[in-house]
Amino acid sequence: MTISLQSPLDMHLHFRDEEMLQLVAPLSGESFAGGLIMPNLVPPVDHLERLLAYRERITAALKGAEFEPYMALFFRQYSEQELAEAREHTLGIKLYPAGATTNSEAGVKAMDAVEPTFKLMEEMGIPLFVHGESDGFVMDREKEFLGMYDYLARKFPKLQITMEHITTADALEMLEQHENLRATVTLQHLVITLDDVAGGMLNPHLFCKPIAKRPEDREALLAAALAAHPKLMLGSDSAPHPVSQKECCGCAAGVFTAPLLLPRLAQLFDKHAALDNLQAFTSQNAQRLYNITPRKKTIVLEKADFVVPESYEGFGQKVVPMHAGETLTWRIHKVL
Amino acid sequence: MTISLQSPLDMHLHFRDEEMLQLVAPLSGESFAGGLIMPNLVPPVDHLERLLAYRERITAALKGAEFEPYMALFFRQYSEQELAEAREHTLGIKLYPAGATTNSEAGVKAMDAVEPTFKLMEEMGIPLFVHGESDGFVMDREKEFLGMYDYLARKFPKLQITMEHITTADALEMLEQHENLRATVTLQHLVITLDDVAGGMLNPHLFCKPIAKRPEDREALLAAALAAHPKLMLGSDSAPHPVSQKECCGCAAGVFTAPLLLPRLAQLFDKHAALDNLQAFTSQNAQRLYNITPRKKTIVLEKADFVVPESYEGFGQKVVPMHAGETLTWRIHKVL
């Protein structure tokens, strides 16, 4: 049994830089036609020249793979001229509330001070990507941020706002409230809950931000993904960290999923008799919502065992993926 | 500034066995007059001869410290004769729902099948200590178990039931419902929430079962402890694991607090102007609830800096305590 996916897209992706970029970029390049690359480097990608240079490093690291790196600027106050110059090189701008996630210390602290930039983005049709978490109690951070989505969506009704990596049923409800909201969801938030992170042994390889939530949240997200909810896109948030920063006292947040995304999603959608909707969830929704036309690329997936490697290594880096050592029931058969 | 505590008791304590016992028993023996030793060894301490042999190993490991090891049997169905023989050697019987915590695979699966033993314990005045968690979602496990406390307390109104290491405001409410319920609470559940375990970096040294809950839970527990709630006792659940089983992929549950319990509690009660209630919380409540008279021992605590060691090592073991490397504002001045 096989299925073919046309030009799958991963609309929330961390490539990092330097050696880690060399290791992980080809792993997405193998099976995706493109992806939205997050700008949270140190220093952040918040100038056009920095963005263009990062794009060149990504292109080199992809080593000829047919993969379009859609770029995002890191949010700050931008002038109209800066935005006009950046417009053709970026899919949008990523906003991190200060301190909420990896390398986001430079994020925005006071939302109202930057509203002129939101206004410019709205007028120029530049999407806003948001890591939507408050600085509150870990299980409440997304819910506490939903009022900010509501506020922004009302105040800037033409601004396209993406609720990145949503993790709760409450976020799905907010998604329905405004035409200009859309959302990404990761693989892990479709399959795990806090139980998998801290219910038995502590599992650092499933620790991410936003943290996995309650069973009813996972069920709601999974139902929306399986139905190919028209405002919901795959955005893996695949986030490699060196193993030395994961299996240690005080491990960093992020789950690495890039190389197994499509097999695992095929297994999940197959289990729920929803394979017909995998194409929309992994590509068409993003094409329509962002008005993009990716490169033509066909991924043929086959229902056959795939043992996920214990780690991916190279360039002096070692990254442990989700489901390391486990056997998935679908694999990539060929790429055309 | 100093305060003196008379015969402090730690009414929920893991001493383990062999080399780890050698390392940790003296650390409690230094500053406590006694403690209730948990029976979850492998195999569990569920026969009198095993209990007596464990008590002898503990006494040897204490190396003459003035510390009374109150013993607990591991719950199973016991005959009247077994209970009669064990009565004078044990403070009570510890019940673990199957699979809920470290080495509890032998715990009880079907509560109703063992009610004859509850009945015997009630008649003979033998307390029941309960690890009260369901096998549900990690944040709900204690709350889901509260109905079982309610059931047992009603059905066996003379059975003394201790809700061990409570972590939620809901558990405190249940504690008020029945005269025959009492509870222990750990140090860590008075000072941390899930935020400290998984809100920033993942912190394996603060990962325990039951897991730390929400801020409002901590506030409720802290208020009850500071007020020396008459049905609430210090039970540290101090649970040493070798560092190799903590700072690793998939770490074991348990926080090691024994050597810093009294300084940290003095700091906490001092901060909240409740030092007058520390004596009852750490000794009188347990003496009254369990009808025990511990050895005379006076611990003089002093308001002065105490740098918590990064680890405690010996006998080939290495254990990392809570607050490792941090400076506390109270320390043990002398023991009389």
Is B249–A249 a contact, with Cβ atoms under 8 angstroms apart?
A: no
Q: B100 in contact with A at a CB cutoff of 8 Å?
A: no
Distance, in Å, from the CA atom of A323 to the CA atom of A238, rounded to the nearest integer, reads: 13
Is B138–A250 a contact, with Cβ atoms under 8 angstroms apart?
A: no
Q: Which residues in A lie closer than 8 A to residue B247 (C-beta atoms)?
A: 247-249
Reading the block at residue B16, the tokens are 């383990």
Interface test with B, best of A138, A207, A209 (most B CBs within 10 A): A138
Q: Which residues in A lie closer than 8 A to residue B203 (C-beta atoms)?
A: 249-250
Count CB atoms within 10 A of the CB of residue B236: 27
Q: Determine the number of helices (DSSP H) and then strands (DSSP E) in chain B.
A: 12, 15
Which of A195, A203, A249 comes nearest B137 by C-beta? Answer: A195
Q: Exposure pattern of A284-294 as b/e (b: 16+ CB <10 Å)? A: bbbbebbebeb
Distance, in Å, from the CA atom of A154 to the CA atom of A63, rounded to the nearest integer, reads: 43
* Alpha-carbon distance B137 to nearest alpha carbon in chain A (angstroms): 6
The range of the structural domain enclosing residue A284 comes to 2-335
Interface test with A, best of B138, B193, B197, B311 (most A CBs within 10 A): B138
Chain A residue with the nearest C-alpha to that of B133: A199
Q: How many residues are given for chain A?
A: 336
List, by residue number, the catalytic residues of B: 237
- Using DSSP's 3-state secondary structure scheme, residue B264 falls into helix
- Using DSSP's 3-state secondary structure scheme, residue B298 falls into strand
Q: H/E element holding A184?
A: strand A181-185
**Residue B241: its pLDDT value, please?**
85
Distance, in Å, from the CA atom of A324 to the CA atom of A310, rounded to the nearest integer, reads: 5
Whether residue A330 contacts residue A301, with contact meaning beta carbons closer than 8 Å, is answered with yes
* Alpha-carbon distance A259 to nearest alpha carbon in chain B (angstroms): 21
**Residue B227: its pLDDT value, please?**
97
Distance, in Å, from the CA atom of B247 to the CA atom of B252, rounded to the nearest integer, reads: 9
Residue B281 lies in a domain: no
Angle between helices A115-124 and A141-155 (to 10 degrees): 60
Burial of A309 per CB tally in 10 Å (0-12, 13-18, 19+) = middle
Q: How do B128-130 and B92-95 pair as beta strands?
A: parallel
Distance, in Å, from the CA atom of A51 to the CA atom of B79, rounded to the nearest integer, reads: 75
- Report CA torsion sign: B187, B192, B193, B199: negative
Whether residue A168 contacts residue A217, with contact meaning beta carbons closer than 8 Å, is answered with yes
- Using DSSP's 3-state secondary structure scheme, residue A219 falls into helix
**Residue A121: its pLDDT value, please?**
98
Q: Tell me which residues of chain A, numbers 61 to 90, contact chain B at a CB-CB cutoff of 8 Å.
A: none
- Strand B9-13: give its sheet, edge to edge: B9-13, B34-37, B68-74, B92-95, B128-130, B161-163, B181-185, B232-234
Query: Chains A, B: CB contacts under 8 A, how many?
Result: 69
Which of B198, B253, B320 comes nearest A207 by C-beta? Answer: B198
Give Cβ neighbours of residue B280 (< 8 Å, ≥ 6 apart): B228, B230
Q: Name the residue with tokens 């044990």.
A: B90
Q: A169 in contact with B at a CB cutoff of 8 Å?
A: no
Residue at B201: amino acid letter:
M
What's the whole-model pTM score? 0.90
**Residue A293: its pLDDT value, please?**
97
ipTM higher than threshold 0.90: no
Domain count, chain B: 1
Is A202–B199 a contact, with Cβ atoms under 8 angstroms apart?
A: no
Residue A99 has pLDDT above 80, yes or no: no
Q: Report CA-CA distances (Å) from A116 to A104, A111, A160, A226, B89.
A: 21, 10, 15, 38, 75
Distance, in Å, from the CA atom of A166 to the CA atom of A175, rounded to the nearest integer, reads: 10
Residue B154 lies in a domain: yes
Q: Tell me which residues of chain B, numbers 197 to 256, contact chain A at a CB-CB cutoff of 8 Å.
A: 197-199, 201-205, 207, 211, 214-215, 246-253
Residue B179 lies in a domain: yes
Q: Tell me which residues of chain A, numbers 123 to 152, contact chain B at a CB-CB cutoff of 8 Å.
A: 137-139
Residue B294 CA from chain centroid, whole number: 17
Angle at A241 between CA A239 and CA A242, to 5 degrees: 155
* Alpha-carbon distance A330 to nearest alpha carbon in chain B (angstroms): 26
Largest CA distance in chain A: 55
Chain B residue with the nearest C-alpha to that of A207: B202
At residue B66, φ and ψ (nearest 5 deg) are -80, 80
Whether residue A207 contacts residue A239, with contact meaning beta carbons closer than 8 Å, is answered with no
Whether residue A258 contacts residue A28, with contact meaning beta carbons closer than 8 Å, is answered with yes
Q: Exposure pattern of B121-144 as b/e (b: 16+ CB <10 Å)? A: bbeeebbbbbbbbbeebbbbbbbe
Q: Report CA-CA distances (Å) from A275 to A16, A269, A272, A282, B209.
A: 32, 5, 8, 11, 39
* Alpha-carbon distance A305 to nearest alpha carbon in chain B (angstroms): 25
Q: Which residues in A lie closer than 8 A to residue B321 (C-beta atoms)?
A: none
Residue B261 lies in a domain: no
Q: H/E element holding B318?
A: strand B317-319
Whether residue B209 contacts residue B133, with contact meaning beta carbons closer than 8 Å, is answered with yes
Residue B151 lies in a domain: yes
**Residue A174: its pLDDT value, please?**
98
| Per-residue pLDDT tens digits for A270-308 | 999 999 999 999 999 999 999 999 999 999 999 999 999
Q: Exposure pattern of B191-200 as b/e (b: 16+ CB <10 Å)? A: bbbbbbbbbe
Give Cβ neighbours of residue B71 (< 8 Å, ≥ 6 apart): B36, B37, B39, B45, B51, B54, B55, B89, B90, B91
* Alpha-carbon distance A71 to nearest alpha carbon in chain B (angstroms): 27
**Residue B107: its pLDDT value, please?**
59
Q: Whose CA is closest to A17, among A82, A89, A102?
A: A102
Per the prediction, chain A carries an average pLDDT of 93
Q: How do B306-307 and B327-328 pair as beta strands?
A: antiparallel
CATH number at B84 reads 3.20.20.140
**Residue A241: its pLDDT value, please?**
85
Chain B residue with the nearest C-alpha to that of A198: B138
Give Cβ neighbours of residue A194 (< 8 Å, ≥ 6 apart): A139, A211, A212, A213, A214, B137, B138, B139
A120 DSSP 8-state letter: H
Instruction: Find the Cα–Cα–Cα–Cα dihedral A173, A178, A181, A182, rounded to 10°.
Output: 50
Count CB atoms within 10 A of the CB of residue B316: 11
| Per-residue pLDDT tens digits for A187-216 | 999 999 999 999 988 888 899 999 999 999
**Residue B103: its pLDDT value, please?**
59
Residue at B218: amino acid letter:
R
Residue at B186: amino acid letter:
T
Residues of chain B with pLDDT under 70: 99-110, 246-250
Residue A68 has pLDDT above 60, yes or no: yes
Give Cβ neighbours of residue A207 (< 8 Å, ≥ 6 apart): A197, A251, A253, A254, A255, B198, B202
